[in-house]
Amino acid sequence: MKKIFSLVLAVLMVASCAVAFASCNGGSKALFEKDPEDNVIVKIGGIGPLTGDYASYGNSVKNGAQIAVDMLNESGALKGIKFELLFEDSEGDGTKAVNAFGKLQDDGMNVSLGGVLSGETKNIVASAAESGILVLTPSASAKDAINKDNAFRVCFNDPQQGLYAAEIIKEKGLATKIALFYDNGNDYCKGNADTFKSRAAELGLQIVTEQTYTEGSNTDFSTQITAIKEAGAELVFMPIYYSDAAKFLRQAVDTLDTVFFGVDGLDGLIGECGTEHASDCEDVILLTPYFADSVDPTVKSFVEAYEEKFGATPDQFAADGYDAVLAIAEAIEENGFTPDQLMEITAEDFNKKMVAAMTKITVTGATGVMTWTADGETDKDPNVLQIKGGEYVEYKTADAE
């Protein structure tokens, strides 16, 4: 009898699995749902690494986006329309990100935040082409991560940053002999370094040495530091993330008296160095569209709300997530959707209109004033900042000399 019982249980388990995987979108269901107060809910679906090596980025984006959703819902900026953030873990893996995207589609996502990392975003964008849903990734910076018409991004792409960096170094006369230092196993670092190299060559800047490391060898940088010293570099361009940069700087500050120059991945460096090693990151120059100590009112209100809710200072990724949600709200406003219209619109129409609105809107967010081009790139000004006494200040040429 027990055996028959167990057999029945097994059959039930298989059946329940089949039911769980069967889709429930049969028939004509409205695209949007309503909450008890009769507001239309727009579901924003985010995907990013919430566990694993890159968990801090995914969590930052998720938290930043949550702040924007809360703010929009509280202020009631869009009458009768509320937002809901759904966020799924990708573990930083493209295949899992696509599964997560499917899960979000099943949950009725209306707009996608793509992925947090470039690789996963590329997979998501390919998967999203089928439905044409608007994909606005906060932080996927690789050039061809958003190679479809319905995909946009909030951050700069890697080539853009490398380009700006070379131009600023030339313009401000920071150095002529430059050492490149980056993680050549990371697409973000490599993308930046590659364009920096070609642009620097065009501008007549000399790259005296190129030192690389990989994820597996990011603890001891003594060989690279010696090579940079011997090459006689005046400036080290390091398009890397802040955690590696902190380790590098701790080992390098005593040996090298060069200028250290980075891009937006260095945001978070002050926190990583802490008060104990604050002198390590003193005078480091970085190029970033966002910094938490800005006096800009949009940034201020974002940082305050974030600190209150999560007890931490928001980084670049959080700001990107925040801005992505603001842009989505702006795109809905641009279309002038009323709650009644939304209840009747088809998915296809909604997606088309949202994508079309992206190139028309102007959004003032935590990372600056943004507009978008049809190929999905954002247009905004980077800030050149320098770390002085544990704070970011606007970089001035006189200080460097």
For binding to other proteins (CB under 8 A), which residues are involved?
Answer: 2-3, 6-7, 17-18, 20-24, 51, 88-89, 93-96, 98-103, 105-106, 119, 122-123, 126-127, 129-130, 142, 144, 147, 183-187, 189-191, 214-216
**Within 282-395, where are the H helices?**
297-310, 316-335, 339-344, 347-358
Cβ closest to other proteins, residue 189 vs residue 328: 189
Q: Are 69 and 110 in contact (CB under 8 A)?
A: no
Instruction: Report the C-alpha gap between 207 and 236 in whole angstroms.
Output: 10
Cβ closest to other proteins, residue 215 vs residue 220: 215
Q: From residue 146, give the alpha-carbon distance in Å to each of 2, 139, 156, 178, 316.
A: 56, 11, 12, 31, 20
Closest CB 38 distance from other proteins, rounded Å = 27
Q: DSSP per residue over 345-360, as a string? A: --HHHHHHHHHHHHTT
Q: Are 93 and 47 in contact (CB under 8 A)?
A: no
Q: Are 285 and 262 in contact (CB under 8 A)?
A: yes
Q: From residue 275, give the alpha-carbon distance in Å to each of 146, 282, 356, 357.
A: 39, 11, 47, 45
Spatial CA neighbour of 63 closest among 339, 319, 353: 319
Closest CB 110 distance from other proteins, rounded Å = 14
Q: From residue 390, give the alpha-carbon distance in Å to each of 174, 268, 280, 293.
A: 22, 11, 10, 11
Closest CB 326 distance from other proteins, rounded Å = 24
Cβ closest to other proteins, residue 94 vs residue 368: 94
Closest CB 355 distance from other proteins, rounded Å = 17
Go through the chain and tell me how many residues it has: 401
Residue whose entry in the numeric block shows the structure tokens 């200040």: 393
Per-residue b or e along 250-284, where b marks 16 or more CB atoms closer than 10 Å to that residue's CB: ebbbeebebbbbbbbbbbbbbebbeeeeeebbbeb
Spatial CA neighbour of 153 closest among 165, 163, 144, 164: 144
Cβ closest to other proteins, residue 39 vs residue 110: 110
Cβ closest to other proteins, residue 25 vs residue 75: 25
Cβ closest to other proteins, residue 45 vs residue 289: 45
Closest CB 310 distance from other proteins, rounded Å = 15
Cβ closest to other proteins, residue 57 vs residue 395: 57
Closest CB 336 distance from other proteins, rounded Å = 30
Closest CB 194 distance from other proteins, rounded Å = 9
Cβ closest to other proteins, residue 17 vs residue 278: 17
Cβ contacts of 258 within 8 Å, gap of 6 or more: 175, 179, 228, 233, 234, 235, 236
Cβ closest to other proteins, residue 118 vs residue 367: 118
How do beta strands 177-183 and 285-288 pair?
Answer: unpaired
Closest CB 204 distance from other proteins, rounded Å = 25
Closest CB 7 distance from other proteins, rounded Å = 7
